[in-house]
């Protein structure tokens, strides 16, 4: 069975760098027919000596953005948090409590003085949930439940207000994986009951428009079927969702309103992975046609999606042929999804997350490999 969505790239081991030709200095503007004029490379720091990955991004304003992930070196992965001040990305110190590894998968901000980042860490045994909070001055670890005896991982976080935030992932007590949903009530993070329709289940992303409207997506079952859960202000319930192909999983979800939400991931057509995009119109989830690049043999997958209005949404991921990956960017203009040219630094590049504040301001982050270790990747559309 193919590796499923975000869970498959959430590395518990050190990055193994590929020695490939190229570098970020070759990034150039790419003309786009979408709302933004172009996507350009904005080199962020890569402090890890053997590899660097940015897994999540969040926008506060045009001059205030966060990106999180991990850098590897010295025998373990360590948390990596970077801040955009409108001119450049800089590394911000962050706790890395795990002696074996500490990684961050997602970030979300309520304001310039209130942001959350989530992931996992290990001291050599099972993974434990990791939640960090930004108070305007420093990032600090906040206590979080880790119900699994084998592992507990968080994949995504979304904020509604200072007293209302969600984090999702999965955990295991040695048998099947179970969905994990944590809620912040302004005082503490607590586990909330969540559906588990099969023996193996995982949540990879979460979005919210209000205190009574939130979505969590992922996959369920050994053969991987899409999993979508909805929060109505009282409980989380499974909502029917298309699962085309021989296996389908969702890695991202974004919501602009109660009647406009997108979920993105990949489906297996028997030959290669194809992009998968589902849309919520207020009543049902339905598959929407989505482009692929690289020909029939190339494996295409989407890892991030963001929506700002009925006529503007972005989805990002990769197209892979063998060991060569190319960043993939898709745009929704209110009528159809179309592929947008993306900068391709190095020989291999992947995008793992996208955030958009408007039709003219979006960031996508990931990683690329040039002539040395994997480097952090940030692309800006404005």
User: Which of 11-20, 94-103, 157-166 is least confident?
Assistant: 11-20
Q: Is residue 15 scored above 50 in pLDDT?
A: no
Under 8 Å between Cβ of 343 and 36 = no
- Residue 37: pLDDT over 90: no
Question: Does the pLDDT of residue 12 top 70, yes or no?
Answer: no
Q: Identify which of 370, 382, 375, 274 has the alpha carbon closest to the alpha carbon of residue 328.
A: 274
154 contacts 120 by C-beta, under 8 angstroms: yes
- From CA 315, how far away is CA 352, in angstroms rounded? 10
Distance from C-alpha of 72 to C-alpha of 235, rounded to nearest angstrom = 39
Q: 35: pLDDT confidence band, cut at 50, 70 and 90?
A: low
Each residue's pLDDT tens digit, 212-267: 999 999 999 988 999 999 999 999 999 999 999 999 999 999 999 999 999 999 99
User: pLDDT at position 38, please?
Assistant: 82
What residues does 253 pair with on adjacent strands?
A: 263
Q: Where along the chain do its domains lie?
A: 5-31+42-319+335-381
User: What is the rounded CA–CA span in Å between residue 349 and residue 54?
Assistant: 12
Does the pLDDT at position 29 exceed 50? no
Q: Does domain 5-31+42-319+335-381 have CATH number 3.40.190.10?
A: no
Least confident of 5-14, 50-59, 273-282: 5-14
- What is the reported pTM? 0.92
**What share of the chain has pLDDT > 90, as a percent?**
82
Cα torsion 272, 245, 221, 337: sign: positive
Distance between CA atoms of residues 138 and 160, nearest Å: 21
């Amino acid at each position: 069975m193919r590796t499923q969505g975000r869970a498959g790239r959430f590395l518990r081991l050190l990055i193994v760098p590929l020695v490939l030709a190229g570098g970020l200095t070759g990034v150039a503007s790419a003309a786009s027919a979408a709302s933004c004029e172009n996507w350009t490379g904005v080199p962020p720091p890569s402090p890890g000596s053997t590899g660097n990955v940015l897994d999540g991004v969040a926008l506060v304003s045009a001059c205030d953005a966060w990106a999180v992930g991990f850098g590897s070196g010295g025998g373990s992965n360590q948390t990596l948090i970077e801040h955009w001040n409108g001119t450049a990305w800089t590394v911000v110190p962050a706790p890395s409590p795990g002696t074996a590894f500490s990684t961050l998968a997602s970030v979300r901000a309520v304001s310039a003085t209130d942001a959350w980042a989530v992931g996992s860490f290990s001291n050599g045994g099972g993974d434990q949930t990791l939640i960090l909070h930004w108070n305007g001055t420093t990032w600090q670890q906040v206590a979080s439940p880790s119900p699994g005896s084998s592992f507990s991982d968080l994949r995504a976080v979304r904020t509604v207000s200072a007293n209302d935030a969600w984090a999702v992932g999965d955990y295991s007590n040695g048998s099947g994986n179970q969905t994990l949903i944590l809620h912040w009530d302004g005082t503490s993070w607590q586990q909330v009951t969540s559906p588990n329709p099969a023996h193996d289940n995982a949540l990879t992303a979460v979005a919210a428009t209000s205190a009574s409207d939130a979505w969590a997506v992922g996959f369920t079952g050994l053969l991987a079927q899409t999993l979508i859960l909805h929060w109505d202000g009282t409980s989380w319930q499974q909502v029917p969702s298309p699962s085309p192909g021989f296996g389908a999983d969702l890695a991202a979800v974004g919501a602009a309103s109660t009647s406009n939400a997108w979920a993105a991931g990949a489906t297996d057509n028997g030959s290669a992975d194809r992009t998968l995009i589902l849309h919520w119109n207020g009543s049902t989830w339905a598959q929407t046609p989505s482009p692929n690049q690289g020909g029939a043999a190339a494996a295409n997958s989407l890892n991030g999606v963001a929506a700002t209005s009925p006529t503007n949404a972005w989805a990002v991921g990769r197209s892979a042929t063998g060991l060569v990956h190319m960043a993939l960017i898709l745009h929704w203009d209110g009528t159809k999804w179309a592929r947008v040219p993306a900068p391709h630094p190095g020989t291999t590049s992947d995008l793992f997350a996208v955030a958009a504040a408007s039709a003219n301001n979006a960031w996508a982050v990931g990683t690329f490999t040039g002539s040395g270790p994997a480097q952090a990747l940030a692309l800006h559309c404005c």
